[in-house]
Structure 1
């Protein structure tokens, strides 16, 4: 008997005004699977992630994570909050609170999203900062951190939530080149724990290393998907072939 997918997305669509950004996305993700999404800019990759925790409200479709199913046509505020508790999000621009320390940026999420007591949240934040190599930066504010350190705090915040699904929206795109490696190394550490991950990235070599499956999107649709070796070395669709020629 086939094990049901940990995450199941059915018929997900989204428009901004007259522009259709996502068109009938259907995707299943297994528990512990690392799925990487690649494709041209402006093709709906980030919107897909944002719809999965209702930062953007999808026009139609259902999202199931574990035993929770949310239908866009009748999603209540309680449904959306429950869905957000099952996901954690790593933003391309870090999205840290400028007036909070590294420790406080992590504890804030644990208190507001998970409802943890402050003392427990602080203990978890400190453990996460040690894990991300930032124990000595616990009391530092974002302005005193490099871009790579800020993004590691952002990833640490997502890690601390122990979510069913971690969403990474181009986590290295805002970084100077010298900071990219440290962020990718931390993501590899997360991946080694078999954390379920959906990652949008332009880092093709990283995708080859970390992904169990790569999805190529174009025009708001999933065009092609498969194991890294198959998709990157023997793509079937002309659009995938053209994209990979441009980025290789």
Structure 2
């Protein structure tokens, strides 16, 4: 796929990451078009979550470049200002929600808007309340995470990411920590986000959801992108033996 030249295009080139002697990402290169929904699948421990974390420097890559629109960040010489600028253009939905336990649902969203986007408190509250209404949580605005179900907590987490209006939303196994009864409401909200032509990179083990929502599915193994294609192509006619073996297991 050719590098996208539009302002909201995403380009990842030569991304590497090791933890000690273990190489987790091995020369990952990937382009994502504006509005494209890319789903990453693969065995546990193959670098999927690390890829997402490196894209906004939650984990600092050892080498490689990340371009979002007109911003290019080189891992070898990224400044604090460049990393902050990259984080303003990406938003992250964590598998374990990552909400502040001492802040209400509204405050969890306003905190991000004030800190990352520089909004005033009044502007942040207005935006947060609109997001809570959109996510079906308006009546939970003053509730703390402990008083929310797992599904509601994750919807707050997605709402927080939505509020940032980022060029790229990153979803790291957003349903893996949920009890089965809460999975559907989170996936439904993600579908609504996708309908807005939001560019999304999603790590998930929900194969049916991947088939429904993805424009493209990437299969990762051993720190590499092994193969990629449309949902129909990759899920129904995989070419690599590792992809075939993985799909047999999850089926």
Q: TM tier, shorter chain?
A: over 0.9
| 1:84 paired residue number | 87
Q: 1:52 to 1:2 in 2, by over 3 A?
A: closer
Residue correspondences, number: 248
| 2:5 paired residue number | 4
Matching residue within 70, 73, 76 for 1:73: 76
**Per-residue deviation, residues 188-208 of structure 1 (Å, max 9, x unmatched):** 000000100000000000000
Indicate yes or no: 2:203 matched with 1:205: no
Q: 1:45 to 1:3 in 2, by over 3 A?
A: closer
User: Does the Cα contact within 8 Å between 2:171 and 2:201 map onto a contact in 1?
Assistant: yes
| 1:218 paired residue number | 221
**Per-residue deviation, residues 83-102 of structure 1 (Å, max 9, x unmatched):** 00000000000000000000
Indicate yes or no: 2:179 matched with 1:170: no
| 2:63 paired residue number | 60
| 1:18 paired residue number | 21
Matching residue within 139, 150, 157 for 1:147: 150
Shift, 1:3, TM fit: 5.1
Matching residue within 199, 221, 240 for 1:196: 199
Matching residue within 227, 230, 241 for 2:230: 227
**What is the CA–CA distance in structure 2 between the aligned matches of 1:170 and 1:91, rounded to whole Å?**
7
Report the TM-score, using the length of structure 1 for normalisation.
0.99
Shift, 1:51, TM fit: 0.1
